[in-house]
């Protein structure tokens, strides 16, 4: 498989279609107000929740494969360039686990709606954004360590910048999100109006979530150029035992 570079592109497109499409669908159905709802709020009610869950599952699988390919990519670089710092292996292994936990969190968010299983939904969101941000930091560091064998200095700077922004926004999202729900006095948080209380905290929190989700997609997309040097082959299957009956 020589077109591995299309994997980050496909992942990027699936997530963007999921977020934007679900939002438009929810607004047209009257399930949320157009003024920056949370992503998960736009996917609370049927039928958009069904579409959101299905696409999120597809995106999670694609993201997991992308993260694993990146992990093997860095391993191959280390094997071919033994002069690389040994810390690359440790950072690469940590990045793999943070990335996979983030994928699991995304799946939780898509399959456990906030109105149905709140605690699981929030755990999934924390794993998604928290571990995802840690994954970005690991990959930003790896990008500097493997340069110039792979990637460019510009991409390393961009990944570092996105990691810093995601960290700030993640903290902002968590703090303002909690404060907005404490101050909320309305009936339905999916239809949050300025008169319901905590409006400005809600807007800051939801905008932070949308920006983080967008940065996540672009961070994965940044692997496209490096994946042009990657080729995948079909896994070898060996039969442990074989009995022929005539």
Where are the domains positioned within the chain? Answer: 5-228
SS3 content of the chain, % helix, strand, coil (to 5): 70, 0, 30
- Global confidence as pTM: 0.89
Q: What contacts 92, CB < 8 A, 6 or more positions away?
A: 71, 74, 75, 78, 138, 142
Half-sphere exposure of 94 (CA within 13 A, CB side): 16
The per-residue DSSP string of 61-120 comes to: HHHHHHHHHHHHHHHHHHHH-TTS-THHHHHHHHHHHHHHHHHHHHHHHHHS-TTT-HHH
Per-residue pLDDT of the chain (246 residues; tens, 9 = 90+): 568 889 999 999 999 999 999 999 888 888 888 888 888 888 888 888 888 989 999 999 999 999 999 999 999 988 888 888 788 999 999 999 999 999 999 999 988 877 778 888 889 989 999 999 999 999 999 999 988 888 789 999 999 999 999 999 999 999 998 898 888 887 777 777 778 888 889 889 999 999 999 999 999 999 999 998 888 887 788 887 765 555
């Amino acid at each position: 498989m020589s077109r591995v570079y299309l994997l980050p592109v496909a992942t990027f497109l699936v997530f963007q279609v999921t977020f934007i499409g679900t939002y438009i669908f929810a607004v047209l159905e009257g399930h949320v107000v157009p003024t920056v709802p949370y992503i998960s709020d736009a996917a609370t009610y049927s039928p958009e929740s069904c579409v959101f869950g299905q696409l999120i599952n597809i995106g999670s699988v694609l993201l997991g494969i992308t993260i694993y390919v990146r992990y093997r990519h860095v391993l191959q670089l280390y094997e071919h360039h033994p002069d690389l710092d040994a810390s690359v292996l440790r950072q690469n292994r940590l990045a793999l686990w943070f990335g996979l936990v983030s994928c699991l969190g995304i799946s939780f968010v898509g399959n456990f709606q906030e109105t149905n299983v709140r605690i699981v939904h929030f755990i999934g969101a924390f794993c998604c954004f928290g571990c995802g941000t840690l994954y970005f930091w690991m990959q930003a560091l790896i990008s500097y360590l493997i340069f110039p064998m792979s990637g460019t200095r510009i991409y390393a700077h961009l990944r570092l910048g996105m990691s810093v922004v995601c960290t700030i926004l993640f903290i902002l999202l968590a703090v303002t999100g909690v404060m907005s729900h404490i101050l909320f006095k309305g009936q339905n948080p999916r239809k949050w109006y300025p008169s319901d209380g905590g409006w400005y905290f809600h807007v800051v929190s939801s905008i932070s979530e949308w920006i983080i989700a967008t940065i996540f997609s672009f961070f994965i997309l940044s692997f496209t150029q490096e994946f042009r040097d990657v080729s995948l082959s079909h896994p070898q299957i060996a039969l442990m035992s074989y009995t022929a009956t005539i």
